[in-house]
Amino acid sequence: MSAAAIHDDAAMAQASSGAVVLQATGVTMRFGGLTAVNNVNLTVSEGEIVGLIGPNGAGKTTFFNCLTGMYKPTEGQVTFQGTVLPPKPRAVVQAGMARTFQNIRLFANMTALENVMVGRYCRTSAMALTSILRGPKYRHEEEATRERAKQLLDFVGLSNTAEHLARNLPYGDQRRLEIARALATDPKLILLDEPTAGMNPKETEQAKELIFRIRDLGLAVVVIEHDMRFIFSLCDRVLCLVRGETLVEGSPVEVQRDPRVIEAYIGTPDEDEVDDEAAKEEHS
Amino acid sequence: MDLFLQQLLNGLTLGSLYALIAVGYTVVYGIVQLINFAHGEVFMIGAFGALATWTVLFKGQTGLWVLPFMVLGAVLVSVLVAVVMERVAYRPLRHAPRLAPLITAIGISVFLQEAVRLWYPGAKSALPFPQIDLVTGAAFQVGGITVRRSALFVIGSLVVCAVVLWFFINRTKMGRGMLAVSQDPDTARLMGINVDRIIMVAFAIGAALAGIAGVAQGLQNSNIDFYMGFLAGLKAFTAAVLGGIGNIYGAVVGGLVLGIVEAMAVQFIPGTFGGSPWKDVWAFALLIIVLVFRPQGIMGARVVDRA
Amino acid sequence: MSTQLRRSPDPKASVDSAAPSMQWWLVLAGTVLLIAGSFLSWSFTPAILGNVTITGLPAPLQIFTIVIGVLGLFLLLLRMGRFHHISTLLDSARGLRALGVTATAYLVLVVLVIALQAPGLANADPGVFVCLVGAGLMVAGSLRMPSDPTVDPISVHLPSWAEILVIVALMALVLFGAAYALGQEDGTVFSLFLLFLSGVVVALQRAGLFGWIGVIAARNRRVITLGAFVVAFLFPLTQDGSDANMSIATQVLIFATTALGLNIVVGLAGLLDLGYIAFLGAGAYVSAMMSHSAFANIGWKPPFLVVVLIAATVSSVLGLIIGSPTLRVSGDYLAIVTLAFGEIFRLTVNNLDGNNGPDLTNGPNGIPGVPELEFGSFKFGDTHEIFGITLGRFANYYFLLLVVAALIITIFTRLNNSRIGRGWIAIREDEKAAEAMGVNVFGLKLFAFAGGAFLAGMAGSIKAHQDVSVTPDQYIFLESAFLLAAIVLGGMGTVAGVLVGATVLKLLPEKLRFVADYRLLTFGLLLVLMMRFRPEGLVPSGRRALEFHEDDERLAAKVEESHIEKVTPTGGRT
């Protein structure tokens, strides 16, 4: 079965599951002479969990950065709910797409609650004068922000640590806090960059359960992960990137069985090349 | 045309001076990503070091043979101050937030100025710099332009220093070590390079050139004062940025460009906004424009976006 | 994991309660000697040290040693297990040690002064040596005294009226101390007072008092703010029309107000601005140019309130211009851009005299003869009488500036605890992540610049009138560096810190005239030392302290504890 055919199958599969939220077409990212992401297409629909896998340096995080406006893709465009997204992180968040980071990027010296409240920034409006005058409207908004942040901490299971500094939280909690912070922006779609990296099996199981609950809220989820068992038991659809290009896209079962995926992960004659790219990606 | 050539020469002279100081900013920045804001004071101290050498050892002498000793004195004092400064003030802050070393630099800058003002005899006002035969005598006339002897000394110093620096960096083990550290200090450390020593050498090199620049400035201006480092340092920093901070040859080019721009602005900007009262304004405006629109400078340099 | 952080406040068995140790008695003897000696004559010469010759009637300098002694006694009793309410509050051993060292240093200095100024050691009376011996005993005894491990200020809870009483007492002490210090004409006495004061402060800090005060201050924030304002308001009344000190106080206020504005940029938004003085200058120049001065070159003379708004607006437009590069440059580069802007401002006002560019600022001579302010019939140049107390010209400006300062403090704190403030912290912590979470990074940075500039412009427009003239050399780089130093010294991102920093930086050089020449030297050294040893300043915000000490786990735990404390003020968490 060719990659194109699989893609078509997948497109048919998602037609039933809801409206298309995100559509990335022909996304290409070059750094100088190096093509980190080459002509990648991705369509995500409401309530869908899509996995993004691939060996180190395959361009997964670069692709994420292109989607979220951290990078301006060299070619291709990202459409979110029918409108083309400008390559600006803030506009992307405003439109309803939030993300977490591979290497956790919390605001370390803020409390967990404050971290989540920062996430509410783009959904609140108090400006300088209102903040100084502190009218009833301001206090109401501030209260609502706090309440919502607490709810979200509850949702990810961190209600007891609201007043703890983010830097003092255990690793797994930091990952969950990052998710809560992303959820605070009221996204339609959430992009998780290796949400279980460094977690033990129990925490991984909790993370899986959390992602299902996020999906049940009606959000679409895109997950980058290396843990195959995690990905295949979680996702509705999996996209495998190798050297910046889509190798396979399809249901977990299809991808799991595809010999090219196995080859990409285990034995490859041109492993050096892959390592090279990994190094370059890190540099950018 | 003569006027243009004259200003070109003036610009080159001024620019050579800026370039000599700018190398110090750029070498240090290239290796530790630190703007050594106090570098202008090192230059000032160099000038005073030369003056002190002359006053103590050769008072009244005007022979050319004194000059090497004065340069030596200037370089020694400058290097000493820079190395102590690095060791005592900057090294403990190497992993501090970036605000800390910058504030420290301001502190050092004020401290050094005041130390010279208070403790160098007579330094509360400008001090005359010794006149040296052959270097400060009557000017030459070449065609329609006046060539001051000290100008030749300044430009000559830059040429010699640039050549020596090139050999040092490309032909010595220490120089290659510097390149390695500027690429990636952690890896360099793992490769057995003594990073602390390299950093110290970077400070020392910059200081040596600044010391030479101090002597050149003294000869050129025929007097020196404790405050001369502030403006010169700021201009030299402008030059370093102009050329692309971290790039040594960029600093030289940037210095020359800045000097020429300033000289030309004095002469050729018409109306009441021209002339020497505004030349510094134009220089700083150039700095801002470069930082905003081409922060990597003319020659290109390392990535600038650091918080 | 939060639970281990707090200790249960069970009444501890005091270290020395059973049988006072040898050291305890030693220190007791020391304090008694110290107090007794202070009642004796210290010197034959009445002309020095504010007359310490009379036995039985201690002079101020002797009262200081008595205070040290009494504090020592208090700590000793605490160690015995008295005052069980607050027994977990203070670590008496460390406090006693610091007190002893302070007293010794103080008395050695006194002896030195007697030897130098009297002159001759023969002019010293036995009293001073009795005190010295006492101080020595205090040091000797406290050196080996075991430290108290159970100190935990947060667990101490006094009734709230007692806490407020403590605050009021502290405020009164501050007012009294400030009035006393300012009243000292004699540089030696002033220095000794300073030594005494800093020694006592260090001792109390060592003993852990300030941790506790910090906690009750957090609990009674309103009272503190109100109290501080009342103290500041009452201050001119203690001066009885003396302009000398009021002039200093007014300068301190202008300086502090400007520094507070800068603290929005540096402390809250985390942007280093090295050209901030230009905004003060812009405000002052606009105000002067629109005043009735003979050298003012703008024909339109609106009322002062309008001028203030125009001056502040002009400043904030400059702020927007200076801030606009933040879109593209950050960190060190931004600092240099602001520095260059500051220089351009200075050079420009220096040049615009008609020969170089249009005649706007009257060149290097500046604009002299800016008239006094008038609000209706109230003339700021006149003296007024309130309750029989004369208030001079400077007092008038002082009150006006106090209002401005209160305004700026309100703006500062409210912004800090708002959506915008959270945005600023997020930017400071991780700019990229903040952007990715939807924080308007560029807008917030620009706002910090413009807002800070607005406030400085406001202060500047008053400064022009208070100084009576405006000249370019008031707005040089060094002044920007001074403002920055006030923030660094006091503590980034805190109001109290900036006030402390500004006061110290302006007051000390005024009072210590004999070291005036070394003012800048010490200032430079101070910056270097602060960055090296206490980059978060004297009164740091917990979060800022953490940013400077990334790997300090204990500090992180402490900051966290204070957050929890704020939420559950009764300490109800188990």
Closest Cβ opposite residue B118 in set C357, C517, C530: C517
Residue C432: list chain A partners with CB under 8 A: 70, 105
Residue at a domain's end among C473, C492, C511: C492
Q: How confident is the model at residue A210 (pLDDT cuts 50, 70, 90)?
A: very high
- Top-confidence residue, A50 or C570: A50
C217 and C294: one domain? Answer: no
Q: Is A137 on the interface with C (CB under 8 A)?
A: no
Closest Cβ opposite residue C438 in set A101, A122, A163: A122
Enumerate residues 54 to 113 of chain B having a beta carbon within 8 A of any beta carbon in chain C.
89, 92-93, 96-104, 106-113
Please count the residue pairs, one from chain B and one from chain C, whose beta carbons lie less than 8 angstroms apart: 142
Report pLDDT for A14.
47
Identify whether B301 is part of a domain. no
Compute the nearest-CA separation of C550 from chain B (Å).
9
Which sign, positive or negative, has the C-alpha torsion B286, B291, B292, B298? positive
Residue ranges making up the domain that contains C408: 241-492
C191 and C256: one domain? Answer: no
> Inter-chain contact A119–C440, Cβ cutoff 8 Å?
no
> Inter-chain contact C336–B287, Cβ cutoff 8 Å?
yes
Closest residue in C to A139 (Cα–Cα)? C418
Enumerate residues 125 to 144 of chain B having a beta carbon within 8 A of any beta carbon in chain C.
none
Long-range contacts of range C562-566, CB-CB < 8 Å, 24 or more positions apart?
Answer: C562/C154, C562/C214, C562/C215, C562/C218, C563/A111, C563/A163, C563/A164, C563/A165, C564/A163, C564/A164, C564/C2, C564/C5, C565/C154, C565/C215, C565/C218, C566/A163, C566/C218
CA B195 to chain centre: 24
Burial A103-138 (b: 16+ CB within 10 A, else e): ebbbbbbbbbbbbbbbbbbbbbebebebbbeeeeeb
Identify whether C504 is part of a domain. no
Identify whether B262 is part of a domain. no
**Burial of B103 (C-beta count, 10 Å sphere; 0-12/13-18/19+):** buried
Residue B45: list chain C partners with CB under 8 A: none
Report pLDDT for B75.
96
Report pLDDT for C5.
39
The predicted model gives A203-211 an average pLDDT of 91
Candidates C350, C445, C531, C532, partner chain B, best to mutate (most B CBs within 10 A): C531
Are chains B and A touching, using the cut-off of 8 Å on CB pairs and a minimum of 3 such pairs? no
Whether A213 has a pLDDT exceeding 90, the answer reads yes
Going by C-alpha positions, the residue among C274, C524, C311 that lies closest to residue B284 is C274
Report pLDDT for C204.
79
- Top-confidence residue, A161 or C223: A161
Enumerate residues 281 to 300 of chain B having a beta carbon within 8 A of any beta carbon in chain C.
281, 284-285, 287-288, 291-293, 295
Closest Cβ opposite residue A126 in set C1, C419, C434: C419
**Could you read off the pLDDT tens digit of each residue along chain C, which spans 574 residues?**
343 433 344 444 444 555 567 778 888 888 888 888 778 777 777 766 766 667 767 777 788 888 888 888 888 887 776 555 555 666 777 788 888 888 888 888 888 888 777 777 777 777 788 888 888 888 888 777 776 666 665 566 667 777 778 777 877 887 777 777 777 777 777 878 888 888 888 887 777 777 677 777 767 777 777 877 887 887 777 776 667 778 888 888 889 999 999 988 888 888 888 889 999 999 999 999 888 887 777 778 788 889 999 999 999 999 998 888 776 776 777 888 888 889 999 999 888 877 777 777 878 888 888 888 877 777 787 777 777 777 778 888 888 898 888 888 888 888 888 999 999 999 988 888 999 999 999 899 999 999 999 999 999 999 999 888 889 988 888 888 888 888 888 878 788 888 888 888 887 777 666 667 787 888 888 888 888 887 777 777 767 777 777 666 667 776 666 666 555 443 333 3
Residue C327: list chain A partners with CB under 8 A: none
> Inter-chain contact A121–C423, Cβ cutoff 8 Å?
yes
Whether C340 contacts B271, CB under 8 Å: no
> Inter-chain contact C481–B110, Cβ cutoff 8 Å?
yes
Going by C-alpha positions, the residue among B22, B5, B18 that lies closest to residue B251 is B22
Mean pLDDT, each 10-residue run in order, chain B (307 residues): 87 93 90 87 95 90 88 96 93 81 88 92 89 79 84 91 90 87 83 88 94 93 90 89 84 92 84 77 85 75 38
Report pLDDT for C311.
94
The predicted model gives A176-198 an average pLDDT of 92
C82 and C191: one domain? Answer: yes
* From A158-162, A272-276, B78-82, B285-289, the region with the lowest mean pLDDT: A272-276
Candidates B281, B282, B289, B305, partner chain C, best to mutate (most C CBs within 10 A): B281
Q: Is the interface score ipTM higher than 0.90?
A: no
The predicted model gives A51-64 an average pLDDT of 88
Residue B112: list chain C partners with CB under 8 A: 524
Report pLDDT for A4.
46
Type and span of the H or E element at A28: strand A20-31
Identify whether B269 is part of a domain. no
Compute the nearest-CA separation of C443 from chain A (Å).
11
Whether A75 has a pLDDT exceeding 80, the answer reads yes
Closest residue in B to C530 (Cα–Cα)? B104
Identify whether B89 is part of a domain. yes
C254 and C228: one domain? Answer: no
Identify whether C538 is part of a domain. no
Report pLDDT for C563.
65
Compute the nearest-CA separation of A5 from chain C (Å).
35
The predicted model gives A271-276 an average pLDDT of 47
Report pLDDT for C447.
92
Residue C348: list chain B partners with CB under 8 A: 281
Compute the nearest-CA separation of C120 from chain B (Å).
30
Going by C-alpha positions, the residue among B164, B300, B294, B193 that lies closest to residue B243 is B300
C425 and C287: one domain? Answer: yes
> Inter-chain contact B277–C547, Cβ cutoff 8 Å?
no
> Inter-chain contact B103–C484, Cβ cutoff 8 Å?
yes
Per-residue pLDDT reduced to its tens digit, C444-484: 999 999 999 999 999 999 999 988 888 998 888 888 888 88
C467 and C365: one domain? Answer: yes
C187 and C251: one domain? Answer: no
> Inter-chain contact B285–C336, Cβ cutoff 8 Å?
no
Identify whether C475 is part of a domain. yes
Question: Per the structure, how many domains does chain C have?
Answer: 3
Q: What are phi and psi of A84, to 5 degrees?
A: -75, 130
Cβ-Cβ contacts under 8 Å for A207 (sequence gap 6 or more)? A172, A175, A176, A195, A196, A199, A230
Residue ranges making up the domain that contains B186: 21-229
Question: Per the structure, how many domains does chain B have?
Answer: 1
> Inter-chain contact A168–C425, Cβ cutoff 8 Å?
no
Identify whether C433 is part of a domain. yes
Report pLDDT for A151.
93
> Inter-chain contact C548–B100, Cβ cutoff 8 Å?
yes
Identify whether C257 is part of a domain. yes
Identify whether C327 is part of a domain. yes
C140 and C195: one domain? Answer: yes
C256 and C225: one domain? Answer: no
Identify whether B304 is part of a domain. no
> Inter-chain contact C547–B97, Cβ cutoff 8 Å?
yes
Per-residue pLDDT reduced to its tens digit, C43-57: 777 766 766 667 767
CA C247 to chain centre: 18
> Inter-chain contact C325–B89, Cβ cutoff 8 Å?
no
> Inter-chain contact B35–C521, Cβ cutoff 8 Å?
no
Enumerate residues 545 to 574 of chain C having a beta carbon within 8 A of any beta carbon in chain A.
546-547, 556-557, 559-560, 563-564, 566-567
C96 and C183: one domain? Answer: yes
C203 and C186: one domain? Answer: yes
Q: How many CB atoms lie within 10 A of CB B117?
A: 17
Q: Is A56 on the interface with C (CB under 8 A)?
A: no
C229 and C247: one domain? Answer: no
> Inter-chain contact C527–B107, Cβ cutoff 8 Å?
yes
Closest Cβ opposite residue C548 in set B97, B104, B241: B97
Residue at a domain's end among C465, C492, C519: C492
